[in-house]
Chains A and B, each alone.
Chain A
Amino acid sequence: MIATREHSHSRHHRQELPREAEPPRLLGSPGRWLWLGVGVLALLLFFSLAGDDWFTIVNYCLIAAIATLALNLLSGYTGQISLGLAFFMGLGGYTAALLGGNPPVGPLDPWGLGLPVFVWLPAAGLVAALVGALVGPSALRLRGFYLGIVTLALVFIGNYLFRNLRFITGGPQGRNFPVPTFGSVSLDQQNSLLGIALTSGQQYFLLMLLVLLLSALFVYNLSRSRVGRAMRAVRDHEVGAAIMGVNLFEVKMGAFVVSSFLAGVAGALYVSYARYVIPDYWSLSLSIQFVAAIIIGGIADVWGSILGAAFVFALPQIIDYFSLLPPSTGGGGLSSGDLNALLYGLLIIVFLLFEPGGVIGLLRRLRPTARRLRPVGAGVGKAAVNEGGENIEVVDLLQHAPESGEEGRGPRGGRTS
């Protein structure tokens, strides 16, 4: 009953605002809180039960989610295509390596200052943001695929620099990174936090989760602010946005710089977690994986970014984990890794064909009541509430029914042309 009352209240509140002014809320309705509760419980269960193997998969996925948020901010919210995310991640990664790395022992070892995590983590973001601010003005003059290919060029130029700046990167052979430490607490040892003994995987998990939460909240709040609306306006119609008084250059630059910052942080976290980094890692295919993540997860959506990262970075591992095929077939033929790659390619195609809204769109459509009630409209929604039990779904439905309006493109739009 409480749920129902809050629902009507929130609906009342919503009706006063024009639709465009308020994108779907991150949290806010009781239904959302319930899902959050389930999510937190699942996280807690995972946290206390999972083995190190699972933490490895999930921790990389958390890092990837931060980078996916960065790309979604630039491409999803603001509409600026970028294939250069790997370059900015690399910048962050090597900034961290230079600041946090071990001081050189031999003459050929790369430099390292051995500074603590409080220094290198923000510095990684700042350096990436700074380079973003330098590159931005010329890159953002370009539009569409031209911008995409110029940012792709950044990846190749970055790779060349990373391979040759040996004193920072260690050259093609790569360099190591020390275990991050907080004072006397070293993340690769078992440590206790508030009296609970935590494994290395759990500690990294907490660190990554914290950074991801901060990033997600930041992107979410930004997207709901005036700036966020300006970003969407730029994406949907540049000329229109300019007429409305949006400063195109400022908005695009802002998105570019903030996105670079987050990418830099993600890169630094990656290096600190993998504890080894080679120039080849920051490749075009890494960039493309993030493009895949935002498109598959859901454009311009915080949850979509996180789910997209899970789809792209964790799913292949999970498929592999539960694979029934042996890794090797003895002599040629289809190995489980090849089968995974095939499945993965097919999944991308099938998914994008049948679910334009991405994973997040699919989840919203999958709510059983949502489909049933969609054509009925808000007026009849009240009756559905009285059916009892299902009211949670109704609340969510009402908040998300017009999701196609948010994206500005009908789910089946233009299909007939």
Chain B
Amino acid sequence: MVTKRFLFTCILILLAGLPILAGCAGSSTGSTTGGLKAGPGVDLNKKTITLGILSPYSGPVAGPVGIPIANGVKAFFYHVNDHGGINGFKVQFIEQDTQYSPQLEVQKYNQIRNQVLMIADSLGTQPTFAIKDLAAADHMLVSAATLSSALAREKYLILVGTPYRLQVENAFDYIVNKLGVKNPDTAIIYQNDDYGQDGLTGYREAVSVYHLHDVAQVSFAVNDTDFTAQVAQLKASGAKYVFMTTLPTATATIIATAYKLGYNPQWILQSPAFSIQLLAVPALKPLISRAWVVSQGAAWGDTSVPGMKQMLEDQAKYFPKQQPDGYFEFGYAESYVTYAILKKAMENGDLTRDGLFRAFESLQSVDMGGLLPPAHYGSTPDQRVPTRDSVIYQVDATQPAGVKPISPDFTGVAASQSHF
């Protein structure tokens, strides 16, 4: 009896272990057919390329940011697949839910690292930071959906868009150099986390470059619900231009509290501080309509840029439920770069991770159909910041995306000098 039971247990364990074994055996690392070198995630027989998506699909960040970006990435490549793929290769995805947690990001990265050629979307500064050393050890390119300037130093991370730090600098360039306001009274209100820190760094650089009259730097905690103290400080400081490195819910409360206290400066919102949802708040709509948002690229629905029509068609076809959303656009634009890398690597006949990296290094410049300004890539940290330009938008409830540009696309003095 004992031995029977024992054997039974062993068999069970073996059975449970078999799929794992199979999984290990399946992850071959490199084969060559028809002059094309292939790395992990590439199936030369089925002609497929597998990419990874590490994004929050559940939890608070999923709905507003994670899912729209991932949808944008997928819409782009669904379109590519339906139009013959990349030289006949179809792109498929392994998606993992990171819940915006650095620890889960590492776990999920390890789960898929042998099955994917590169990571087409890794959302968030902290999660991406958590895997950067692992990715470097694997020579894995990671397209990072974050605008944190802290990631520019990493060799295997691909950034798209102008970092938060430079957004702040460009906003004050607009005030000083475009509007001609000399020594304006300025302030910043930021949440005390890594995102707020990036904004604050940019603000301090802007203060010294543009000789701003800095009257207040006010922080709040992520869990704060009452902002009277912070707003009263801003009011007492008399700042005329207040930069906000915040998230939408706090943006709403801060602007409303200020209005209540009779304080109406020019609010300038860092791109994540704005959400079109804010315009659905009846009491807030008139208050926020004077505010500016620093971002870049074409506003949703602006078909004067070549890529917009295609994106809108793909969105209607593959994700009909998707609302107009800058994050979807970001994911779609981000994929232009991924596509360019894959295409180039394919032309070089080297679909391995190192082949991809060489392709990335030789890209020079990628056009994103005007959705975002063309990105430039090089090998030093300063060259790894793809764009340094911004557009200042004014909140406008009549526009599909809730904003309309009030400045051209420009790079300020401070932003062009900034070192990473």
A binds B: yes
Q: How far is B57's CA from A203's CA once the two chains are assembled, in angstroms? A: 32
Q: Is A238 an interface residue (CB 8 A)?
A: no
Q: Is B283 an interface residue (CB 8 A)?
A: no
With A278-B194, A330-B321 as known contacts, state yes or no: A51 contacts B23, CB within 8 Å. yes
Name the contact of A172 in the complex, choosing from B9, B111, B193 (C-beta under 8 A): B193
Name the contact of B103 in the complex, choosing from A42, A49, A60 (C-beta under 8 A): A60
Within B107-135, the residues touching A (CB, 8 Å) are 107, 110-114, 125-126, 129-130, 132-134
Q: Is A6 an interface residue (CB 8 A)?
A: no
Q: Is A317 an interface residue (CB 8 A)?
A: yes
Q: Please, what's the 1-or-0 string for B26-55, where 1 marks a CB less than 8 Å from any CB in chain A?
A: 010000000000000000000000000000
Within B160-211, the residues touching A (CB, 8 Å) are 192-194, 196-197
Is B57 within 8 A of A56, CB to CB? no
Q: How far is B106's CA from A56's CA once the two chains are assembled, in angstroms? A: 8
Of B59-67, B274-282, B344-352, B364-372, the one with at least 4 CB within 8 A of chain A: B59-67
Q: How far is B110's CA from A54's CA once the two chains are assembled, in angstroms? A: 9
Q: Is A340 an interface residue (CB 8 A)?
A: yes
Is A337 within 8 A of B99, CB to CB? yes
Within B303-321, the residues touching A (CB, 8 Å) are 319, 321
Q: Is A390 an interface residue (CB 8 A)?
A: yes
Chain B residues lying within 8 Å of A346, measured Cβ to Cβ, are: none
Is B1 within 8 A of A174, CB to CB? no
Within B285-326, the residues touching A (CB, 8 Å) are 319, 321-322
Max count, chain A CB within 10 A of own CB: residue among B1, B20, B97, B197: B97
Q: How far is B125's CA from A276's CA once the two chains are assembled, in angstroms? A: 12
Max count, chain B CB within 10 A of own CB: residue among A280, A328, A340, A390: A328
Q: How far is B137's CA from A174's CA once the two chains are assembled, in angstroms? A: 20
Q: Is A407 an interface residue (CB 8 A)?
A: no
With A274-B106, A330-B71 as known contacts, state yes or no: A337 contacts B21, CB within 8 Å. no
**Complex: chain A residue closest to B191, CB-CB:** A172
Q: How far is B134's CA from A176's CA once the two chains are assembled, in angstroms? A: 12
Q: Is B261 an interface residue (CB 8 A)?
A: no
With A173-B150, A173-B197 as known contacts, state yes or no: A188 contacts B20, CB within 8 Å. no
Is B58 within 8 A of A51, CB to CB? no
Q: Please, what's the 1-or-0 string for B75-110, where 1 marks a CB less than 8 Å from any CB in chain A?
A: 000000000000000000001110100110011001
Name the contact of B13 in the complex, choosing from A41, A52, A53, A392 (C-beta under 8 A): A41
Q: Please, what's the 1-or-0 string for A324-350, where 1 marks a CB less than 8 Å from any CB in chain B?
A: 001110111001111011000000000
Is B111 within 8 A of A321, CB to CB? yes
**Complex: chain B residue closest to A38, CB-CB:** B9
Chain B residues lying within 8 Å of A328, measured Cβ to Cβ, are: 57, 67, 70-71, 95
Chain A residues lying within 8 Å of B112, measured Cβ to Cβ, are: 53
Between A and B, how many residue pairs show CB distances below 8 Å?
A: 128
**Complex: chain A residue closest to B25, CB-CB:** A51
**Complex: chain B residue closest to A57, CB-CB:** B107
Q: Give min CB distance, A113 to chain B, whole Å.
A: 19
Chain B residues lying within 8 Å of A60, measured Cβ to Cβ, are: 103, 107
Q: How far is B272's CA from A355's CA once the two chains are assembled, in angstroms? A: 46
Is B13 within 8 A of A45, CB to CB? yes
Is A49 within 8 A of B10, CB to CB? no
Chain A residues lying within 8 Å of B110, measured Cβ to Cβ, are: 52-53, 55-56, 201
Name the contact of A49 in the complex, choosing from B20, B67, B130, B197 (C-beta under 8 A): B20
Within A101-155, the residues touching B (CB, 8 Å) are none
**Complex: chain A residue closest to B137, CB-CB:** A188
Q: Is A320 an interface residue (CB 8 A)?
A: yes
Chain A residues lying within 8 Å of B107, measured Cβ to Cβ, are: 53, 56-57, 60, 317
Q: Give min CB distance, B345 to chain A, whole Å.
A: 25
Q: Give min CB distance, B353 to chain A, whole Å.
A: 16
Is B130 within 8 A of A274, CB to CB? yes
**Complex: chain B residue closest to A178, CB-CB:** B133
Q: How far is B291's CA from A386's CA once the two chains are assembled, in angstroms? A: 85
Is B17 within 8 A of A45, CB to CB? yes
Q: Is A36 an interface residue (CB 8 A)?
A: no
With A45-B17, A326-B95 as known contacts, state yes or no: A274 contacts B103, CB within 8 Å. yes
Q: Is A163 an interface residue (CB 8 A)?
A: yes
Within A307-332, the residues touching B (CB, 8 Å) are 317, 320-321, 326-328, 330-332
Q: How far is B105's CA from A276's CA once the two chains are assembled, in angstroms? A: 11
Is A337 within 8 A of B133, CB to CB? no
Q: Give min CB distance, A362 to chain B, whole Å.
A: 19
Q: How far is B101's CA from A60's CA once the two chains are assembled, in angstroms? A: 14
Q: How far is B193's CA from A55's CA once the two chains are assembled, in angstroms? A: 31
Q: How far is B74's CA from A217's CA once the two chains are assembled, in angstroms? A: 51
Q: Is A275 an interface residue (CB 8 A)?
A: yes
Chain A residues lying within 8 Å of B197, measured Cβ to Cβ, are: 171-173
Is A337 within 8 A of B14, CB to CB? no
Is A173 within 8 A of B114, CB to CB? no
Chain A residues lying within 8 Å of B58, measured Cβ to Cβ, are: 335-338, 340-341
Is A280 within 8 A of B97, CB to CB? no
Chain A residues lying within 8 Å of B111, measured Cβ to Cβ, are: 52-53, 56, 321
**Complex: chain B residue closest to A108, CB-CB:** B201
Q: Please, what's the 1-or-0 string for A177-196, where 1 marks a CB less than 8 Å from any CB in chain B?
A: 00000000000100000000
Q: How far is B110's CA from A201's CA once the two chains are assembled, in angstroms? A: 10
Is A389 within 8 A of B2, CB to CB? yes
Name the contact of A332 in the complex, choosing from B6, B99, B321 (C-beta under 8 A): B321
Chain B residues lying within 8 Å of A56, measured Cβ to Cβ, are: 106-107, 110-111
With A173-B197, A337-B58 as known contacts, state yes or no: A52 contacts B95, CB within 8 Å. no
Chain B residues lying within 8 Å of A163, measured Cβ to Cβ, are: 192
**Complex: chain A residue closest to B130, CB-CB:** A276
Name the contact of B97 in the complex, choosing from A34, A45, A54, A335 (C-beta under 8 A): A335
Q: Give min CB distance, B5 to chain A, whole Å.
A: 8
Q: How far is B6's CA from A188's CA once the two chains are assembled, in angstroms? A: 36
Within A269-305, the residues touching B (CB, 8 Å) are 274-276, 278, 280-281
Chain A residues lying within 8 Å of B319, measured Cβ to Cβ, are: 330-331
Q: Is A46 an interface residue (CB 8 A)?
A: yes
Chain A residues lying within 8 Å of B103, measured Cβ to Cβ, are: 60, 274, 281
Q: Is A388 an interface residue (CB 8 A)?
A: yes
Is A174 within 8 A of B67, CB to CB? no
Q: Give min CB distance, A384 to chain B, whole Å.
A: 14
Is B129 within 8 A of A173, CB to CB? yes
Q: Is A207 an interface residue (CB 8 A)?
A: no
Within A370-387, the residues touching B (CB, 8 Å) are none
Chain B residues lying within 8 Å of A340, measured Cβ to Cβ, are: 58
Q: Give min CB distance, B130 to chain A, whole Å.
A: 4
Q: How far is B17's CA from A49's CA once the two chains are assembled, in angstroms? A: 7
Chain B residues lying within 8 Å of A278, measured Cβ to Cβ, are: 102, 126, 194
Q: How far is B112's CA from A53's CA once the two chains are assembled, in angstroms? A: 7
- Please give the residue numbers on chain A whose beta carbons come within 8 Å of chain B beta carbons, in ascending order: 34, 38, 41-42, 45-46, 49-57, 60, 163, 171-174, 176, 188, 201, 274-276, 278, 280-281, 317, 320-321, 326-328, 330-332, 335-338, 340-341, 388-390, 392
24 inter-chain pairs at a CB distance below 8 angstroms, sorted by A residue, are A34-B6, A45-B13, A50-B17, A52-B113, A53-B107, A172-B196, A172-B197, A173-B126, A176-B133, A274-B103, A275-B130, A276-B133, A278-B194, A320-B97, A326-B95, A328-B67, A328-B95, A330-B319, A332-B63, A332-B321, A335-B97, A337-B57, A337-B97, A340-B58
> In the complex, given contacts A281-B103, A341-B58, A390-B1, what are 6 additional A-B residue pairs having Cβ atoms less than 8 angstroms apart?
A34-B6, A52-B113, A173-B125, A278-B102, A332-B321, A388-B1
Considering the complex of A and B, which 6 residue pairs feature the smallest CB-CB distances, nearest first? A337-B58, A389-B1, A331-B321, A53-B111, A56-B110, A173-B194
